[in-house]
Amino acid sequence: MSRTLQHALVLSISTTVTYIFTYLMAKIAPKLGAVVEPDDRRIHERPTSTGGGVAMLIGLLAALVVASRLPGFAQVFAGSSEALAVVVAATVMFGIGFLDDLRELSAPAKVAGQVLSASLLAVLGVTLFYFRVPFGQLVVLSADWATLITVLLVVVVANSVNLIDGLDGLAAGTIAIAAGAFYVYSGELQNAGVISEANLGPLLALVTLGICLGFLPHNFYPAKIFMGDGGALLLGLLMASATMTVGGRVVDQFSGQVYFFFAPIAIPFLILGVPLVDVALAIIRRAYRREGIATADKDHLHHRLLRMGHGHRRTVLLLWAWTALLSGVALVPTLTGSGDAVLPFALAGVSILLFFLLRPLSRVGQEKDAEIQSA
């Protein structure tokens, strides 16, 4: 079986298994009490099942088991504990989130659980090794610094994904685009010999893409089930792990570009720009208001777009478009070897920004979801 077919098989397994178990979880969740009721803070209009993260975790495990049996991924699993580290950390991260879905945990308890998950990830071998300062020298991280940065990165990315999970399909679609882009980018690094065939990152990105594709049909507006904190935190951990195993293992400068490609660790942050910008703005906003960092509000990017008059679907599609745009900024120069290729994407970005600011949906009410007000 060719390498392409093996990758396609892993993608189809993660997609199919997640799809089937999401359907089953939507039926089972009400019996477990895993139902989210509408309230002042949430946007959905009717009681909706949650706990889709259960299906995501099962999809992850199924895909990794299949991949471990394929010759194309033999080097990834041979003599390395990294895949096991991801499974253990992902299970703990999901567990914390799922507990919070069933019975709300305190903010300190949730953060402690996330730190535990990230620490297990680091102890079992998934950490940054190197950090290249853009246009500067390569920094070799000590064990202490590597662990500290790993924990911080995992907690930030996981919570960033969790914060954008506020509209049907938003988080799943955003991470699907980001994971797909990162899979292509890391594959290009492998083809160029910059990272080895044993690197876990491309496989994690591929599996994450499949998980999102399997979940999204059940979650797009109007959602039949939510991923919950368990699913959102799980996706964040997977993307953070892929980031570290690829960007944090690159020694050579790649590629011929003249800007941030000198620091491959920066690429995933660009691709994940939408959730990371959202969490940065939330931190600044809450600090300015002298509120706790975990204080919920309705000033996230999707809330602001809804208030401008964009309907539910259009808001989601616009934020997907931003993610695709940022992914294109990262991918096109990498694939073409020309930084000038970024220009069309910059122009597209300006166009989308103008659409955000000057052309909100004027026919509020044409879509069913446009009834959401003052979200």
Query: For the chain, what is the mean pLDDT?
Result: 80
User: Which residues are within 8 A (CB) of 236 and not within 5 positions of it... i.e. 6 or more apart?
Assistant: 93, 154, 157, 158, 159, 160, 161, 162
Q: 């399909």: which residue's tokens?
A: 169
| Residues 241 and 126: beta-carbon distance below 8 Å | yes
3-state SS class at 36: strand
3-state SS class at 140: strand
Give 198-249 as a DSSP string: T-SHHHHHHHHHHHHHHHHHHHSSSPSB--HHHHHHHHHHHHHHHHHHHHTT
Band of pLDDT at residue 8, cut at 50, 70 and 90: very high
Structural domain includes residue 351: no
In this prediction, residue 288 carries a pLDDT of 73
Structural domain includes residue 31: yes
In this prediction, residue 365 carries a pLDDT of 39
Strand 138-140 to 48-49 pairing:
unpaired
Neighbours of 291 (CB within 10 A): 13
Q: Is the dihedral of CA 170, 323, 5, 67 positive or negative?
A: negative
Band of pLDDT at residue 204, cut at 50, 70 and 90: very high
In this prediction, residue 99 carries a pLDDT of 92
pTM for this prediction? 0.82
pLDDT of 95-123, one tens digit each? Answer: 999 999 888 888 899 999 999 999 999 99
Q: Is the pLDDT of residue 3 over 70?
A: yes
Q: Which domain holds residue 256?
A: 3-300
Percent of the chain with pLDDT over 90: 37
Structural domain includes residue 308: no
Q: Is the pLDDT of residue 253 over 60?
A: no
**Highest mean pLDDT pick, 18-32, 180-194, 262-276, 350-364:** 18-32
Phi, psi (rounded to 5 degrees) for 338: -130, 120
Q: Is the pLDDT of residue 274 over 50?
A: yes
- Structure tokens belonging to residue 224: 């039949």
- Structure tokens belonging to residue 90: 């992902």
Number of domains in the chain: 1
Structural domain includes residue 290: yes
CA–CA gap between residue 258 and residue 356 (Å, rounded):
30
Q: Is the pLDDT of residue 254 over 80?
A: no
Structural domain includes residue 111: yes
CA–CA gap between residue 345 and residue 335 (Å, rounded):
14
pLDDT of 118-144, one tens digit each? Answer: 999 999 989 877 666 555 566 777 888
pLDDT, average across residues 365-371: 42
Q: 């535990």: which residue's tokens?
A: 116
| Residues 318 and 305: beta-carbon distance below 8 Å | yes
